[in-house]
Amino acid sequence: MTITRADVGFRSERGPILIALMLTTGLVAIDSTIVATAVPSIVHDVGGFAAFPWLFSAYMLAQAVSVPVYAKLADTFGRKPLVLTGIGLFLLGSILCGVAGSMGALIAFRVIQGLGAGAVQPMAITIAGDIYTVAERAKVQGYLASVWAISSVVGPTLGGLFAALGIWRGIFLVNIPLCLLAAWMLMRTFHESVEKSRHRIDYLGSALLTASMTLLIVGALEGGQAWAWGSVPGIGTFGLGALLFAAFLLVERRAAEPVLPLWVVSRRLLLTTTLVSFGVGAMILGLTSYVPTFLEGSIAVSPILAGLALAALTLGWPVSASQSGRLYLRIGFRSTALIGILVAVAGTAVLAATAHSPSVVWVAGSCFVIGLGMGLTASPTLISAQSSVEWHERGVVTGTNLFARSIGSALGVAVFGAIANGIYASTPGGAQHAQAIVPASAAVFLAVLAAAILIVAAVLAMPRDRHRDASAPEESESVENEA
């Protein structure tokens, strides 16, 4: 069945699917900001301040290691079953997080949420890549970006409100109606026809990838805390993680249907865009995790105000992402991404330079500029990667790109957490005193700046654009859309 082209928008033939994808994207978008604003309240209720980075790392780790598996399955069995499975897991994890009685339980249940997010976000982006051409995606970016714009205000506001009222559990329970609505819309509007065939699941590769990434992130988070960096546990954790990752690469070379095909990183365009995504993940989660804590701990602003300052980041992102299509269709993906990351570097430099004089205005302004830069970096590089492959490879390419972003987020939070915890441990009063929070946050912001500079190098290494005609249909799959 062939897609009939129509205008992009809610009233077009594909409009109902677009709405369903926006609802699905909203699950992850709101979660990305709503949790950070409530961290102080969560810690006050269940304890475990030193472990709070795990709220993000555990979620991102689970998301990261599951993305390649979902992506491979999606190219095999279709997108719809995978995205519905993801919504179900996200719903279950949200309910369990809402009733968690300790930091350990909350972290464990965040893993379930992350397993759901590992399917939700990549599948939504992949479906959009399936049913829209490169030129049409430029318009679709505006619609999907509006979800992040709305979430950038709704998420921190709800998180701050729930925290202020002492009902932080509401930040997880609010996902229940959203999950049910998103699932219902997808079941009703999106229909696909996929040719069934027998496939071999790469269980060994999946297990090795999960184990290696887990050990590397545990080593980064617990180093200097649970054990010394140069101790036997510290060296052993990193060493075993690296060894398992090397074994994973060997398995992938011989696997009949590898969960993460090595050709994805053997092509220059896909390798560089993957590195960009890795850096973007580290930057965004570093800021999301520490900006609210920085403002609340240094100048005692309310959770709502701290959340709104962070919201400037996720507000600036969709503003530029919605316009990035016009830019990359004129000057190319590489040039657009380079402009974006240079803008982000400038915003991050201002944030780091003003950290020792805490100000809501400076923080919000810097976050907005960083968001503008990210919108011109993340979207064009992902679409560039998607447009370079056919349908049967697009799920893996999209999944690898988002896998890199999730790993970057998880490792980034782990490294930033190690930096901050090291300063907390050496300062009288520890994490509860502004004299520790300010220098720790300043050090984290400098580390984020370093990540941004590394992204500049990755963008410069991208090949010059040689993509196909952006107005030409790319779909070779059979997808039936019913409004």
What pLDDT was estimated at residue 368? 93
The chain-wide mean pLDDT, for the chain, equals 81
Is it the case that residue 348 has pLDDT exceeding 70? yes
Q: What is the pLDDT of residue 147?
A: 82
- Higher-pLDDT residue of 464 and 331 is 331
Identify the pLDDT of residue 467: 45
Q: Could you tell me the two tokens for 64? A: 């990261």
- Show Cβ contacts of residue 299 under 8 Å, excluding neighbours closer than 6 positions: 358, 359, 360, 434
Contact between 160 and 37 (Cβ < 8 Å)? yes
Q: Give yes or no for a contact between 185 and 16, defined as CB atoms under 8 angstroms apart.
A: yes
pLDDT in tens, 134-160: 777 767 766 777 787 677 678 777 887
Residue 214: both structure tokens together: 């887990």
pLDDT at 42: 82
Share above pLDDT 70 across residues of the chain, in percent, rounded to a whole number: 88
Cite the DSSP H helix spans in 99-133: 103-131
- In the DSSP assignment, the letter for residue 192 is E
Specify the pLDDT at position 1. Answer: 36
Amino acid at 425: A
3-state secondary structure of 213: helix
pLDDT of 314 strictly over 60: yes
Structure tokens at 480: 């039936």
Candidates 396, 459, 447; CA nearest to 419 is 447
The string of pLDDT tens digits covering residues 351-363 is 999 988 888 899 9
The answer to whether 464 touches 334, Cβ cutoff 8 Å, is yes
Return the minimum-mean-pLDDT range out of 7-16, 225-234, 422-431: 422-431
User: Which residue did the predictor score with more confidence, 205 or 272?
Assistant: 272
- Residue 451, pLDDT score: 93
Report the candidate in 408, 373, 369, 352 with the shortest Cα–Cα distance to residue 56: 408
Closest to 61 (Cα-Cα) out of 445, 414, 448, 444? 414
Arithmetic mean of pLDDT, 115-122? 86
* Greater model confidence, 196 or 78: 78
Give the pLDDT of residue 277.
92
pLDDT at 470 over 70: no
Q: Are 5 and 473 in contact (CB under 8 A)?
A: yes
Per-residue confidence band for 44, with pLDDT thresholds at 50, 70 and 90 = confident
Q: What gap in Å lies between CA 264 and CA 277, rounded to an integer?
A: 14
pLDDT attached to residue 88 = 94
Rounded Cα gap, residues 160 and 174, in angstroms: 14
3-state secondary structure of 67: helix
Measure the CA–CA gap between 141 and 136, rounded to whole angstroms. Answer: 9
- Tokens 């004089």, located at residue: 357
Residue 449: CA count within 13 A, CB half-sphere: 16
Q: What is the spatial distance between Cα 269 and Cα 289, in angstroms, rounded to a whole number?
A: 30
This model's pTM is above 0.85? no
* Average pLDDT estimate for 192-211: 76
Tell me the sheet residues that pair with 190.
481
356 C-beta neighbours (distance < 10 Å), count: 11
- In the numeric block, the tokens 């930091």 are attached to 103
Looking at residue 471, what is its pLDDT?
37
Sort 171 into a burial class: Cβ within 10 Å, 0-12 / 13-18 / 19+.
buried
Rounded mean pLDDT of 26-46? 78
Report pLDDT for 322: 75
Calpha distance 34→153 (Å, rounded): 10
Distance, in Å, from the CA atom of 372 to the CA atom of 208, rounded to the nearest integer, reads 37
Q: Is the pLDDT of residue 169 over 50?
A: yes
pLDDT band of 199, cuts 50, 70, 90? low
Confidence of residue 49 (pLDDT cuts 50, 70, 90): low
78-99, pLDDT tens digit by residue? 888 889 999 999 999 999 998 8
Q: What is the mean pLDDT of residues 389-416?
A: 80
- Per-residue confidence (pLDDT) for residue 18, from 0 to 100: 87
pLDDT of residue 43: 78
